[in-house]
Chains A and B, each alone.
Chain A
Amino acid sequence: MMGLTKKDFTLLIIVACLAIFAPFILNPFPEGSAMAQFNAGYPDLMQRLVIFGIFAIGFNILFGLTGYLSFGHAAFLGVGSYAAIWMMKLLTMNVIPAIIVSVAVAGLFSLLVGWISLRRSGIYFSILTLAFAQMSYALAYSVLTPITGGETGLQPKYTDPRILDGALEPGQTPRANLFGLDMKQSFELEVADWVFTFNAGYYVAAAVMLIAFYLSIRIFRSPFGLMLRAVKSNQQRLNYTGLNSKPYTLAAFVISGMYAGLAGGLLVAMDTQVGAERMFWTASGEVVLMTILGGAGTLIGPILGAGFIKYFENIVSKINESILHQWFAFMPDGIEDFLVAIVYPFIGKGWHLTLGIIFMLVVIFLPGGLVEGGQRVARLFKRKKPADDKPDGKTTPAE
């Protein structure tokens, strides 16, 4: 269906269901319970999950298929964001032009960067992209302050021209919308103690993510995708067959740059401000982590990885000492303090530590990322059936 095999179509449907029912899935605990701390079903985080999902899907087209490790993809995210905010300042608060322009501008910029960086491969390519990203960051943070707002960033203001929209009343805050539908608009469904929030912006972002995901499946399964895989497995041999692989890698680079630009544009559509930190090299590193954590080269891996990291950043980092004391309050005083002292370094400001440990564990024991973990679990359950007819449940080597 839709040009997909049955297996891929099922995957697409699963992702669609996850995206549509995210407000329920991410809010499993009732309000007011101690576990409500772990709920993630609020608009901002849900938006971030799908947007960084798009970012990681795009990155995976480059890294997962060709094996070219770009350390500068945050630059395209940032360029897309700045393009989108300028559209909102000059043209209209409608998110459609902003998103289209962000993809186009990021595409052009990645064409330039890719054209230069792809002259080298391996570590030199990574360093080149990293250098480009850091240059972009430095430009945005200081040199280009009149265009980028420098440290304080850019936000739409009521004084901006916005030629397609009517003039706003003084002091009114311009709001991003889709033909009048405010991105911040939410509908709250209260069922007993649970509160589920359905946010307009989230569903717009989720719809875009599904399209992006569908496109990435098509790319993975296309002859073009096959060519990219050939680049990964042995570029030299590919060149010896008389085939010039550079247009393919450049195309992959530009496509992934456009995905990053799309994510940047969506970030602005959901939350109308841009800061230069978005392009900092750690942001580029983050998307690498997302892809590897989820499973590079797999379809759904990057989305899982993005969700995992954003969840940690937003939920675990907010658990503080006094919440821990509440959790362990039922223990005797001495033990309570002891437990808090042990757990505290791993939560709150120590969330990086926990994430680092998990990342290490995944890379060491599940080199294929979270997807491999899922596959192993699935195999565990599947194996039981055939195991029944074999006496010891193991295959005996034929010696």
Chain B
Amino acid sequence: MSNSKLTRRGLIKTSALGGAGLALPTIFTAGRASAFTNEPTGDTVTLGFNVPQSGPYADEGADQLRAYQLAVEHLNGEGDGGMMNTFTSKALQGNGIMGKKVEFVSGDTQTKSDAARASAKSMIEKDGAVMITGGSSSGVAVAVQALCQEAGVIFMAGLTHANDTTGKDKRANGFRHFFNSYMSGAALAPVLVNNYGADRKAYHLTADYNWGYTTEEAVRSSTEALGWETVNTVLTPLTQTDFSSYIAPVLQSGADVLVLNHYGGNMVNSLTNAVQFGLRDKMVNGKQFEIVVPLYSELMARGAGANVKGIFGSQNWDWKLENQLGERYVGTNAFVQSFGTKYGFPPSQAAHTGYVQALLYADAVERAGSFNPCAVGEALKDFEFDGMGNGPTLYRGDDHQCFKDVVVVKGKENPENEFDLVEIVEVTPTEQVTYAPDHPQFAGGSLGTCNAGA
């Protein structure tokens, strides 16, 4: 199970300090002789899907869970195989992972880091999960990633957009496919400058928590580098539902762009307030007033309804990518097809990133020839692949972050149906959103060494 990594010096020091020789680690040696935590010995292997099923991100969580179930089907050779057909790595055979049938356990993170850790722990300690994936907020992702590092299993991050997950809180056992705040900023800034001009004054409203800070920093620094000026940045409480009092000062500030570093219900409310205040009809400094939302999701677009029309934002992936931008994004249609056939509507980006993470993990195990987290980590390191709907992608070894094109979208003026709320404006190529591993926004962490547990 566990193993104590005591240094001799540390042991002597602590025991001497306590003055009591309570050190009895020899009694507590692991009973099961296995090479690593939860080594699958039977003919099945268990994966842990840890998603929010209650709380503010329950809808995203439900969609992710659907995608994970689809991935399990495909891995076990059921269904149409989805993106396994377009994936450039051909290690997966549709006979489970390394011949072992894939089983899964699911848990509810409640979008709380304590509950998420409890749920992940029970998957590891009770159900014998060899990999944990999921999470719909950065706090949860960071907490569970650290847990997986300690326990010696692989963590494939789900929906987490803050820089910290692969920045100051990165871990050797954790991997993130989803894009991050920096990438959103870097992708959005050129598009914004092209559309609104380089001579703009921006006003930021930022949700008062970690993700808000990193997103604001990313958008601000990328737009300022292209000539924009930041007039003011204001923090708004997370529990705020009425943003009127924050919107009124925007008009007096002389700003001509409002950036809403908000997510979920916050964004729906603040955007609605801003539009109701008539901001979008105003002319300031001789220019049309504009609103920008750095991180878009299908659910938010649905929540904000007509207010979202014409507003720019960024996404990790969109289900229309291959249809509109062609072959480069192969895999998109294959996934949308099998997801749509099973559930009757197109998948969200949350579903997509979950599905891809599950497949990438399985593929890495096949290529490594072992479930050992260190071997799997080695196989994922600097792994280049294509055919997963995002174009050519790199899993960078330095910080375990995926680098791929970022989709810049705009709220559609005349949506044809309830799933077609955003139109793809442009896709920012990978090179423009790539940063150095020691970039200031990501500094301060260390991957450490991989931990295989027992």
A residues contacting B by CB (< 8 A) are 39, 42-45, 48, 92, 94, 96, 138, 141-143, 145, 150-153, 155, 158-159, 164-166, 170-173, 175, 177-182, 184-190, 197-198, 200, 271, 273, 275, 277-278, 280, 313-314, 317-318, 320, 322, 348-349, 351-352
Contacts and interface: CB of A to CB of B under 8 A. Distances in A.
A73 B7 CA distance: 39
Contact of A313 (B28, B118, B142): B118
A215 B93 CA distance: 61
B446 A187 contact: no
B23 A150 contact: no
Given A166-B9, A277-B114, A314 B119 contact: yes
A41 B30 CA distance: 17
Contact of A166 (B13, B54, B112, B143): B13
A186 B30 contact: yes
B28 A181 contact: yes
Interface in B94-152: 104-108, 112-115, 117-119, 121-122, 125-126, 137-139, 142-143, 146-147, 149-150
Contacts of A145: 209-210, 213
B114 A278 contact: yes
B448 interface: yes
B54 to A, nearest CB: 6
The 5 closest A-B pairs by CB, nearest first: A171-B448, A188-B31, A275-B113, A349-B53, A180-B23
Interface residues of B, number: 73
A94 B18 contact: yes
B132 to A, nearest CB: 13
Contact of A275 (B112, B162, B451): B112
Contacts of A142: 208-209, 235, 237-238
B17 interface: yes
B298 to A, nearest CB: 21
Contacts of B28: 181-182, 185-187, 198, 200
Contacts of A138: 237, 239
A94 B2 contact: no
5 contacts: A92-B17, A150-B139, A152-B164, A179-B14, A318-B106
Contacts of B6: 177, 180, 182
B264 to A, nearest CB: 13
Contact of B172 (A42, A151, A171, A177): A171
A275 B137 CA distance: 13
B25 A182 contact: yes
Contact of B149 (A166, A173, A190): A173
A152 B448 contact: no
Chain A interface, >50% SS class: mixed
Given A44-B125, A165-B13, A166-B13, A151 B2 contact: no
Contact of B446 (A171, A182, A313): A171
B436 interface: no
B32 A188 contact: yes
Given A158-B448, A189-B31, A348 B53 contact: yes
B150 A184 contact: yes
A226 B14 CA distance: 43
B54 A277 contact: no
B237 to A, nearest CB: 7
Contacts of A318: 105-108, 119, 122
B126 A42 contact: yes
Given A150-B209, A151-B138, A348 B25 contact: no
Interface string B351-374: 000000000000000000000000
Contacts of A92: 14, 17
A96 B22 CA distance: 13
B288 interface: no
A186 B105 contact: no
A155 B58 contact: no
Contacts of A165: 10, 13-14
Contact of B448 (A42, A94, A173, A175): A173
B200 to A, nearest CB: 28
Contact of B118 (A48, A94, A152): A48
Contacts of B125: 42-44, 197
B29 A187 contact: yes
B216 to A, nearest CB: 13
A327 to B, nearest CB: 15
Q: Quick one: which of A45, A142, A172 has the most chain B CB within 10 A?
A: A142
Contacts of B22: 178-181
A151 B119 contact: no
A138 to B, nearest CB: 7
Given A152-B162, A153-B143, A179 B23 contact: yes
Contact of B31 (A152, A187, A348): A187
B25 A185 contact: yes
Contacts of A39: 126
B416 to A, nearest CB: 32
Contacts of A150: 139, 209-210
Interface string B161-197: 0101000010010000000000000000000000000
A314 B146 CA distance: 20
Nearest to A348: B53
B417 interface: no
B240 to A, nearest CB: 11
B5 A172 contact: yes
Interface core residue of B32, B104, B150, B237 (most chain A CB under 10 Å)? B150
B448 to A, nearest CB: 3
Contacts of A159: 446
A43 B118 CA distance: 11
A44 B118 contact: yes
B54 A44 contact: no
B14 to A, nearest CB: 5
Given A185-B4, A278-B114, A151 B210 contact: yes
B275 interface: no
Given A151-B137, A152-B143, A314-B119, A164 B13 contact: yes
Interface in B322-364: none
B1 A186 contact: yes
B11, B113, B172, B213 pick with most chain A CB within 10 angstroms: B113
Contacts of A166: 7, 9-10, 13
A186 B150 contact: no
A153 B115 CA distance: 13
